[in-house]
Chains A and B, each alone.
Chain A
Amino acid sequence: MSEFAILTDGLMKHYSETRAVDGLHLHVPRGSLYGFLGRNGAGKTTTIRTLMGLLRPTGGSARMLDMRVPEEQIAILQRTAYVSEKKALPPSMTGEHLVRFNRPFYRSWSDALAAKCAQRLEIPMDQQFKKLSLGNRTKLCLLMALAQGAELLILDEPTLGLDPVIMDELLKLLIEDYAVEGRTVFLSSHRLAEVERVADWVGIIDHGKLLLEARLDDIRTEYCRINASGNALPVNIGPQILSAVFSGSLCEYVVRNDADRFVAELRSQGATILDVSPLNLGEVFLLLVRKEEPCTSGNVGATPAALSPST
């Protein structure tokens, strides 16, 4: 059994000239709560819809739970739950109807879990879906997904449009009731705060390409900002440098891995180290995806997805 719940190898989805997903190499470890980050239009939803078999990939390959996408899609869907970005269910059905409809599709369906979710999230199960508020719609979608008892839960922007109270409830439910059982949660979002709160792995996508894939703790500990000054600061920088922004005799480096060694190297070249501080997820995200760089001199931009789970 592979250690990855989702594994893509150069996955592509093109629409004529538009490359919505462009050679994606994704490694989602089993049992992780993986935050899939990107701006609007970065390719998150297209990636997810391709993995769920709703879109046909243009190229590359993907495996979910050791099964090939889309060849073994029915078996994949049996073990995967999905909440789409649209949060849409058949509009004329009530929650009770939806439970009744959904139950026979899944061997691992749990009525008890559905009832528990309905009670805890206070979902009016006797109301038609189209008459529910956005919050209740989202909760009902999540209930349908959770009660499947799936090994892999894929959530596309699950908290979009929700107020903070409901968002908090949903995230608690995910962390306390689902991820704790060793299942894999793949959560797409452009809200960094919510991902930082729940995720243990993070992937950042932009323009259909994966810019970074790393453990969240690694990001917190290994990504540093180093401000240095000197007359001959190095421009020829190694692969661990994500960016280097020069401004006169000052330079702001952002490094990944082994910041101490780099600091020592800078000092050996006569540089003065002004500050070394860790980056948070938001800063890493902005560093990787922003288009306008503050200073172009010597800037190397982002290094594409360098960290695999094994590193």
Chain B
Amino acid sequence: MYFWKCWRDTRRAFSIYLILAVGGTLLWFMGMNHALQHASVGAPPEEALWFLVVSGGLAFGLPFAAVMGLGLGSRSVGTEVGGEGGDFLMTRPRSRKYFVWVGWTVGLAEIAILLAVTALVALAVLYYEGGPIWRHMPVATHFGPATQASTGGQAENISLLLTVVDIPLLLASVAVIAIVVHGLTYFMSVLTRSGRRAVTYSLILILVFWTSANLLDRWGHSSLPNIAKISLYRMSLQGPPPWYLAPQLQLIGWVLFALAFPVAAQLVLERSDI
């Protein structure tokens, strides 16, 4: 039924993201591994592979998650209502709540599959390059400033202390970014009834938030909650700032925040004329 239609409508975008995720992961890990073999990371070679995971997650995973969330969130029941088949869809014997949540769930499932596939591909590449690297999970591996260039500038002036907890935390951060951006874009697409406007407004909001967070960070001696920095602060040798909550709490908070978007989308759709 509507699950099938949602999948049908988003499968092209899903396929493109799948190709990008698999291709990007392969290129990143294979290319970076060769670069690392000639660089000093201050860690044994097996554990250095974990550095690839972290730097890949920060430099490739986080932005890709945001792009994926934007793309998959821009298709919603709102865009259908704004398009040609809105009357037809909204006169099927189901509640508006049903359409909102089914659409959102399908998007979320696609994100989960894309992230899982990406993680599996990364793991396969790491295994291919370094054998069973899970036997060498980092207990407390220090990566020095020599690694700065590899992090795409995100870890500028930061020495990282990577522990076994940081890997799932980073993966969770990537997933949560995707969920939040997807939720925001999904809500915008219900509000504006247009995928293009939803992406535009979501991008504007994200950029405003990101800029404000960075300005506050640099000059305001304060900070806004920032998923992208949850892992970074935790791994920083300088230690997290005083306001830093436990990362698990932060992630739960962000997930709850992300859940507010489909709820808001439902409320908007239920109260509006088609």
Enumerate chain A interface residues (CB-CB to B < 8 A). 49, 52-56, 74-75, 77-78, 82, 84, 86, 88-93, 97, 100-102, 104-106, 144
Contacts and interface: CB of A to CB of B under 8 A. Distances in A.
B132 interface: no
Interface string B248-274: 000000000000000000000001011
B246 interface: no
7 contacts: A56-B271, A77-B91, A84-B87, A86-B87, A92-B9, A101-B4, A106-B93
Given A84-B87, A93-B8, 4 more contacts: A53-B91, A77-B93, A91-B84, A97-B8
B92 A88 contact: no
A84 B91 CA distance: 10
Contacts of B5: 90, 93, 101
Contact of B87 (A56, A88, A92): A88
A72 to B, nearest CB: 11
Interface of B: 1, 4-5, 8-9, 80, 83-95, 271, 273-274
B7 to A, nearest CB: 12
Contacts of A55: 273-274
Nearest to A78: B93
Contacts of B4: 100-101
A93 B80 CA distance: 13
A54 B91 contact: yes
A49 B85 contact: no
Contact of A89 (B84, B95, B271, B273): B84
B166 to A, nearest CB: 44
Tell me what chain B mostly uses at the interface: helix, strand, loop, or mixed: loop
B273 A105 contact: no
A105 B93 contact: yes
B106 to A, nearest CB: 14
B89 to A, nearest CB: 7
A78 B93 CA distance: 5
Contacts of A104: 1
Nearest to B80: A90
Contact of A54 (B8, B84, B274): B274
B88 A75 contact: no
Contacts of B85: 88-91
A188 to B, nearest CB: 14
Given A74-B95, A101-B1, A106-B93, A90 B88 contact: yes
Contacts of B94: 74, 105
A54 B273 contact: yes
A84 B92 CA distance: 13
A71 to B, nearest CB: 12
A54 B270 CA distance: 10
Contact of A88 (B8, B9, B84, B93): B84
B87 A90 contact: no
A77 B84 contact: no
Contact of A77 (B1, B80, B86, B92): B92
Nearest to B88: A89
A90 B84 contact: yes
Contacts of B87: 49, 52, 54, 82, 84, 86, 88
A3 B262 CA distance: 41
Contacts of A82: 87, 91
A90 B93 contact: no
A82 B89 CA distance: 11
A102 B87 CA distance: 14
A88 B88 CA distance: 7
Contacts of B83: 91
B84 A52 contact: no
Shortest Cβ-Cβ A-B pairs, 3 listed: A90-B85, A77-B93, A88-B84
A92 B4 CA distance: 14
Residue among A53, A54, A55, A104 with the most chain B CB within 10 A? A54
A299 B80 CA distance: 50
B92 A86 contact: no
Nearest to B4: A101
Nearest to B89: A90
B79 to A, nearest CB: 11
Contacts of B9: 92
A90 B94 CA distance: 17
A11 to B, nearest CB: 15
A100 B91 CA distance: 16
B120 to A, nearest CB: 31
Contact of B92 (A56, A93, A105): A105
A79 B218 CA distance: 62
Contacts of A97: 8
Nearest to B95: A74
A91 B94 CA distance: 21
Contacts of A93: 5, 8
A54 B271 CA distance: 10
A217 to B, nearest CB: 32
Contacts of B274: 49, 54-55
Contacts of B90: 53-54
A53 B273 CA distance: 9
A19 to B, nearest CB: 15
Contacts of A101: 1, 4-5
A153 to B, nearest CB: 12
B84 A56 contact: no
